[in-house]
Structure 1
Amino acid sequence: MDVTAYLLDSDPAIRWQVMRDLTDADADVVAAERARVATEGWGARLLAEQAEDGRWDAGTYRPGWVDDEKPFYDAWTATHPSLELLRALGPDPAAPEVVRAIDRVREHVRWDHAGQPYFDGEVEPCINGGALAVAAFFGQDAAPIVETLLAGQLSDGGWNCWDEDGTSRSSFHSTLSALEGLLEWERAGQASERVRAARLRGEEYLLERRLLWRRSDGEIVDPRFAMPSFPTRWYYDVLRALDYFRIARPAGDARCADAVELLRGKMLPFGMWKLELSHQGATHFEFEGEGEGFPSRWITLRALRVLRWADAAQI
């Protein structure tokens, strides 16, 4: 099987990233394919689900149809997770369809519990990290979110959504979410020494644990962390972490080596990777052929670009 050809025989959201990250296609070819994300396939379907008031499924973090039978934490169809998915699909932020969608969010969407504008953020770092990444990717001002994240960094370098007084131990989930937001903010041209210092401290929290293992006994913190997923939502996993460090540390870091080898060992004999974990809950639509336990284009794309980085950096 020609794995690259198989990945290219897919949705524009995957094709343009394969071209950019695996085939080194010319920039204009990549841009032309990327331009299709907003008007074809999954990207177009997701954009079409947005209402005129800027929201998806009548809610910001939790859908409007929350009830006893469909609790909010099992639904991924509200505005915030929809925007995170849109970012993962990677449409051109300048596409008219995308500009219109983000303008609606900026002008109309408010957080459910307090009513503040979406791009001002809320209080939990796992949510704020995702909102900051969305804002930076789509060219929005999210300075209030940055300040909230910086103020909430814990003494061990990470973040925890469940912390109430600054004394909690950091969470892998919350820390990676915050890091993704801060890194996207820097990449959008908003770098500062304060942001960079906070990001590097947060990275150290994960790197000191080799992305997966406890410092105390060397055991994997949570077996689910070793199971690649997509969409990742707010959940931590080894592939999500390595894909982050691929961008954050292009020269590599030796402390990623064990995680890289774990990922390498999951490759199937024909060169693909499985979707090992699907986070349960309602979704707008299913990705074609992306069932749990089966070979996955999304996981394979991300794994191959991670290994390409790791090999080049000699990790």
Structure 2
Amino acid sequence: MLDWLLDSDPAIRWRVERDLAGAPDVVWRSTRARVATEGFGARLLALQDDDGQWAGGAFFPADFDFDGPERDTGQPWTATTWSLNSLREWGLDPSVLQERRTAELLATNSRWEYDDLPYWGGEVDCCINAWTVANGVWLGLDVAELARWFVEHRLPDGGWNCEWVEGSTRSSFHSTLNALKGLLAFEVATGGTAATRAARRAGEEYLLQRSLFRRLSTGQPVAPWVTEFGHPFRWRYSVLNAADYFRDAALTDGRAPDPRMAEAIELIRAQRRDDGTWLQAGRPPGREWFEVDAGVGEPSKWLTLYATRVLAWWDAARSS
């Protein structure tokens, strides 16, 4: 299985080398540097517009018809935010985009489809704001004001909901996880503030109290999607997506895994096939630049990487 994972695009391979194969730093860093010049990373970089954007828009491509049939067939994944998310998650060295003056170009040329707001200021959607924080600190921007937005917009139950602007007062698993990822990226880059660190811990507690997949009110699974593992994750929650976040957070904070994750970990383990792989369950539909993972029902290298390293982290901590 390890050889199969290593036979991959540099965007995957460097993580396999670092997290599973125990390769020396010089090896995986060398592979990571190739993201800019080979495979997925190079292909996506070549699609960047002269104005710094991708597909001519901030969250939606410029040609998206909000009143047309595509509105009902799936969010397109080709616009600027989704493209930046991919490059960051693949491990692209931010200096590549800094040399292209991407952050400055977006500040000048890109506006959110919501109220025509400036790109790096964010908007009202907490998932969009979380990605903007993560992409901003990755590119070296000061996004402290947007990070504070999460402190001010956390709901009473501890998490976040992108539908707060519509009056929702209950947190969402999806929104909370995406907010946590943004706050963690902000802390890794800047150290965060007392307020952002407290907000992140409160959001983590929201998910941990629910064992990462149960309703607090009934104890029942919140929905079937908690165990539907699809890659790319995009905005979508699953226990695998959440467990991978908690692994990152625990390693950053120097904490042991929280025992309240135990049931979720076993849900992940249960989907491992005899050959050590996990299957692609699918992801939300929509236009993409190109495929980066296996088709539905096929072994997924990305999911296998995430699940294997989560289980390795969990099992090592429990056995020590």
TM-score of the pair, normalised by structure 1: 0.94
Contact 2:161 2:168 in 1 (8 A): no
> Aligned residue for 2:239?
238
Residues 97 and 139 in structure 2, CA contact (< 8 A), matched pair in contact too = no
**1:37 partner SS:** helix
Counterpart secondary structure, 1:269: coil
Alpha-carbon distance in 2 for matches of 1:200, 1:41: 37
Deviates more, 1:80-89 or 1:42-51: 80-89
The structural deviation recorded for 1:5 is: 0.8
1:313 is paired with a residue whose SS is helix
Cα distance in 1 between the residues matched to 2:173 and 2:84? 22
CA RMSD of aligned residues (A): 1.7
Matching of residue 255 in structure 1 with residue 260 in structure 2: yes
Confirm whether residue 41 of structure 1 aligns to residue 39 of structure 2.
yes
Q: Residue type matched to 1:269 in 2?
A: D
Greater shift in the superposed pair: 257-266 or 230-239: 230-239
| Deviation at residue 217 of structure 1 after TM alignment | 2.2
- Matched to 1:245, the amino acid is F
Match of 1:275 in 2: 280
Residues 152 and 166, structure 1, Cα contact 8 Å, conserved in 2: no
Aligned residue number for residue 194 of structure 1 = 195
| Unaligned stretches of 5+ residues in structure 1 | none
Q: CA deviation at 1:103?
A: 4.5
Structure 1 partner of 2:57: 59
Percent sequence identity is: 46
The residue aligned with 1:181 is 182
The one-letter amino acid of 2:180's match is L
Native 8 Å contact 1:273 1:296 kept in 2: yes
* Inter-CA distance 26–229: structure 2 relative to 1 (3 Å threshold): same
Note if contact 1:7-1:15 (Cα within 8 Å) is conserved in structure 2: yes
Partner in structure 2 of residue 22 of structure 1: 20
Gaps of 5+ in 2: none
Q: Go from structure 1 to structure 2 and tell me whether the alpha carbon gap of 1:141 and 1:78 turns closer, same or farther (over 3 Å shift).
A: same
Greater Cα shift, 106-115 or 21-30? 106-115
Mapped partners of 1:275, 1:28: distance in 2: 31
Offset at residue 97 of structure 1 (A): 5.0
TM-score by length of 2: 0.92
SS at match of 1:276: coil
* Corresponding residue of 1:313: 317
Equivalent residue, structure 1, for 2:70: 70
Which residue of 2 is the match for residue 286 of structure 1? Answer: 291
Greater per-residue helix proportion: 2
How far 1:112 sits from its partner (Å)? 2.3
Mapped to 2, the partners of 1:254 and 1:81 lie a distance apart of 33
Could you tell me how far apart the structure 1 residues matched to 2:163 and 2:308 are? Answer: 34
Tell me: CA distance 1:103–1:10, structure 2 relative to 1, closer, same or farther (3 Å).
farther
Deviation for aligned residue 1:314 = 1.0
Q: In the TM superposition, what is the alpha-carbon distance from 1:60 to its structure 2 partner?
A: 0.7
The residue type equivalent to 2:62 in the other structure is G
Q: 1:256 to 1:99 in 2, by over 3 A?
A: farther
2:244 alignment partner AA: D
Q: Is residue 2:280 matched to residue 1:303?
A: no
Q: Are 2:133 and 1:132 equivalent residues in the alignment?
A: yes
Q: Do 1:38 and 1:97's aligned partners in 2 also have CA atoms closer than 8 Å? A: no
Deviates further, 173-182 or 131-140 = 131-140
Rate the CA distance shift 1:113–1:217 in 2: closer, same or farther, 3 A.
closer
Separation (CA, whole Å) in 1 of partners of 2:114 and 2:215: 35
Show CA shifts across 1:55-84 (max 9, x none).
111111111111203228521111111111
C-alpha spacing 1:168/1:146, structure 2 compared with 1 (3 Å) = same
Q: CA deviation at 1:172?
A: 0.5
Q: Contact 1:228 / 1:277 at 8 angstroms: preserved in 2?
A: yes
Pick which of 229-238 and 179-188 moved more.
229-238
Tell me the number of residue pairs that the alignment of Structure 1 and Structure 2 aligns. Answer: 311
Once residues 222 and 165 of structure 1 are traced to their aligned partners in structure 2, the CA distance between those partners, rounded to angstroms, is: 22
Contact 2:77-2:83 at 8 Å conserved across structures? yes
The corresponding residue for 1:80 is 81
Matched letter for residue 142 of structure 2: D
Deviations 1:165-191 (A, max 9, x none): 876100001101110000000000232
Partners of 1:125 and 1:159 within 8 A in 2: yes
Q: Equivalents in 1 of 2:234, 2:261: separation in Å? A: 22
**Residue from 9, 15, 24 that aligns with 1:11:** 9
Q: Distance in 2 between matches of 1:137 and 1:244?
A: 17
Report the alpha carbon displacement of residue 286 of structure 1 after superposing the two structures with TM: 0.9
Q: 1:143 deviation in Å?
A: 1.8
Alpha-carbon distance change, 173 to 26 in structure 1, aligned in 2, over 3 angstroms: same
1:192: Cα distance to partner? 1.4
Matches of 2:288 and 2:166, distance apart in 1: 34
